[in-house]
Structure 1
Amino acid sequence: MNNGVIMQYYHWYISNDGTLWDKLDKTANDLANAGFTALWLPPAYKGSGGASDVGYAVYDLFDLGEFNQKNTVRTKYGTREQYLKAIKTAQDAGIQIYADVVFNHKDGGDEIERIFAQEMDWNDRNRPVSDWYEIAAYTKFNFSGREDKYSSMKWYWWCFDSLSYNADTKRADKLYRLKDKHFETEVSQEHGNYDYLMANDLDTGNDLVRGELMYWGRWFVDTTGVNGFRIDAVKHIRSTFFRDWLNHLRVHFGGREIFSVGEYWSQDTDALHGYIASSDGRLSLFDVPLHFKFHQASRQGSSFDLRSIFDRTLVKEQPALAVTFVENHDTQPCQSLESPVEPWFKPLAYALILLRREGYPCVFYADYYGAQYQDKGRDNTLYSHSFLIDKFLKARREYGFGDQHDYFDHPNTIGWTRLGNGAHPGAMAVVLTNSAPGNKWMNVFRPNQEFYDATGHINNIIHTNNDGWGNFPCPGGSISVWLQK
Structure 2
Amino acid sequence: MTRKFNIKTAIIASIFLVLSCNPDNAFNDLDTAKQAIKVQDITDHDGSPFSIDKYDASKARFNPGPGGGVMMQGFYWDVPAGGTWWDHVAGKVEDWSNAGIESIWLPPVSKAQGGATSMGYDPTDYFDFGDYNQNGTVETRFGSKSELIALINSAHNENMKVFADIVINHNSGGQLESNQYTGTNTWTDFTNVASGKFLRTQHDFHPNAIKNNDEGVFGGFPDLSHSVANVQDWLWKRADGVGKYYKNVIGFDGWRFDYVKGFGPWVVKEWNNHVGGFSVGELWDGNVDYLNWWANEANSSVFDFACYYKMNDAFDGNNLAILYDDMMWKRNPFKAVTFVTNHDTDEIWNKMLAYAYILTHEGYPTIFYRDYEEWLNKERLNNLIWIHNNKATGTTSILYADNDEYVARRNGYNGNPGLIVYLNNSNNWIERWVPTNWNNTQIKDFTGHSSWYPTTQGGGWVKIQCPPKSYSVWSPNI
Is TM more than 0.5 here? Answer: yes
1:336-351 correspondence runs (5 A): 340-342=347-349, 345-351=350-356
Query: Is 1:468 the equivalent of 2:475?
Result: no
Residue number in structure 2 paired with 1:322: 336
SS for the counterpart of 1:309 is helix
Residue number in structure 1 paired with 2:201: 156
Equivalent residues of 1:290, 1:310 under 8 A apart: no
Letter in 1 for 2:177: E
Residue number in structure 2 paired with 1:354: 359
Residue number in structure 1 paired with 2:469: 477
SS for the counterpart of 2:386 is helix
- CA 1:402/1:246 → structure 2, altered by over 3 Å: closer, same or farther? closer
Query: Is 1:270 the equivalent of 2:289?
Result: yes
Residue number in structure 1 paired with 2:57: none
Which one of the candidate residues 170, 182, 195 is aligned to 2:212? 182
Q: Report which stretch shifted further, 389-398 or 430-439.
A: 430-439
Inter-partner Cα distance in structure 2 for 1:201 and 1:94 = 37
CA deviations 1:99-144 (Å, max 9, x no partner) are 11110011111x21133566xxxxxxxxxxxxxxx43322212445
Equivalent residues of 1:115, 1:179 under 8 A apart: no
- CA 1:195/1:269 → structure 2, altered by over 3 Å: closer, same or farther? farther
Equivalent residues of 2:70, 2:103 under 8 A apart: yes
Inter-partner Cα distance in structure 2 for 1:234 and 1:310 = 28
- CA 1:421/1:112 → structure 2, altered by over 3 Å: closer, same or farther? closer
Equivalent residues of 1:413, 1:439 under 8 A apart: no
Identical amino acids, percent of aligned pairs: 31
The structure in which a higher percent of residues are strand is 1
Equivalent residues of 2:116, 2:140 under 8 A apart: yes
Query: Is 1:101 the equivalent of 2:166?
Result: yes
Equivalent residues of 1:159, 1:203 under 8 A apart: yes
Inter-partner Cα distance in structure 2 for 1:409 and 1:454 = 21
Residue 428 of structure 1: how far off its partner (Å): 2.9
Equivalent residues of 1:104, 1:236 under 8 A apart: yes
Residue 63 of structure 1: how far off its partner (Å): 0.7
Residue number in structure 2 paired with 1:395: 387
Residue number in structure 2 paired with 1:288: 305
SS for the counterpart of 2:194 is coil
Inter-partner Cα distance in structure 1 for 2:74 and 2:325 = 29
SS for the counterpart of 1:90 is helix
- CA 1:298/1:456 → structure 2, altered by over 3 Å: closer, same or farther? same
Inter-partner Cα distance in structure 2 for 1:392 and 1:62 = 38
Residue number in structure 1 paired with 2:60: none
Letter in 2 for 1:272: L
- How many residues align? The count is 407
Residue 13 of structure 1: how far off its partner (Å): 2.5
Which one of the candidate residues 65, 75, 81 is aligned to 1:10? 75
Which one of the candidate residues 409, 420, 436 is aligned to 1:417? 409
- CA 1:219/1:396 → structure 2, altered by over 3 Å: closer, same or farther? same
1:368-387 correspondence runs (5 A): 368-370=372-374, 383-387=375-379
Residue 362 of structure 1: how far off its partner (Å): 1.1
- CA 1:179/1:216 → structure 2, altered by over 3 Å: closer, same or farther? closer
SS for the counterpart of 1:105 is coil
Equivalent residues of 1:65, 1:75 under 8 A apart: yes
Letter in 1 for 2:368: F
Residue number in structure 2 paired with 1:431: 422
Residue number in structure 1 paired with 2:110: 45
- CA 1:141/1:245 → structure 2, altered by over 3 Å: closer, same or farther? same
Residue number in structure 2 paired with 1:26: 91
- CA 1:72/1:318 → structure 2, altered by over 3 Å: closer, same or farther? same
Residue number in structure 2 paired with 1:74: 139
Residue 408 of structure 1: how far off its partner (Å): 2.5
Residue 271 of structure 1: how far off its partner (Å): 1.7
Query: Is 1:363 the equivalent of 2:367?
Result: yes
Which one of the candidate residues 227, 233, 236 is aligned to 2:253? 227
Inter-partner Cα distance in structure 1 for 2:300 and 2:193 = 35
Please give the TM-score of this superposition, normalised by the length of structure 1. Answer: 0.78
Inter-partner Cα distance in structure 1 for 2:225 and 2:334 = 31
Equivalent residues of 2:69, 2:388 under 8 A apart: no
Letter in 2 for 1:308: I
SS for the counterpart of 1:37 is strand
1:187-336 correspondence runs (5 A): 187=215, 194-214=216-236, 215-250=241-276, 258-279=277-298, 282-300=299-317, 302=318, 304=319, 306-332=320-346
Please give the TM-score of this superposition, normalised by the length of structure 2. Answer: 0.79
- CA 1:182/1:292 → structure 2, altered by over 3 Å: closer, same or farther? same
CA deviations 1:26-64 (Å, max 9, x no partner) are 221211110111111111111111111111111111011
Inter-partner Cα distance in structure 2 for 1:407 and 1:428 = 12
Q: Which has the higher contact order (CA 8 A, sep 6+)?
A: 2
Letter in 2 for 1:410: D
- CA 1:106/1:17 → structure 2, altered by over 3 Å: closer, same or farther? same
Unaligned regions of 5+ residues in structure 1, if any? 119-133, 162-176, 188-193, 251-257, 333-339, 371-382
Residue number in structure 2 paired with 1:126: none
Inter-partner Cα distance in structure 2 for 1:454 and 1:47 = 46
Residue number in structure 2 paired with 1:138: 187
Inter-partner Cα distance in structure 2 for 1:274 and 1:459 = 45
What is the RMSD of the two structures over their aligned residues, measured on CA atoms? 2.3
Unaligned regions of 5+ residues in structure 2, if any? 1-63
Letter in 2 for 1:294: M
Inter-partner Cα distance in structure 1 for 2:460 and 2:293 = 43
SS for the counterpart of 1:272 is helix
- CA 1:448/1:312 → structure 2, altered by over 3 Å: closer, same or farther? closer
Q: Report which stretch shifted further, 448-457 or 229-238.
A: 448-457
Residue number in structure 1 paired with 2:22: none
Residue 410 of structure 1: how far off its partner (Å): 3.2
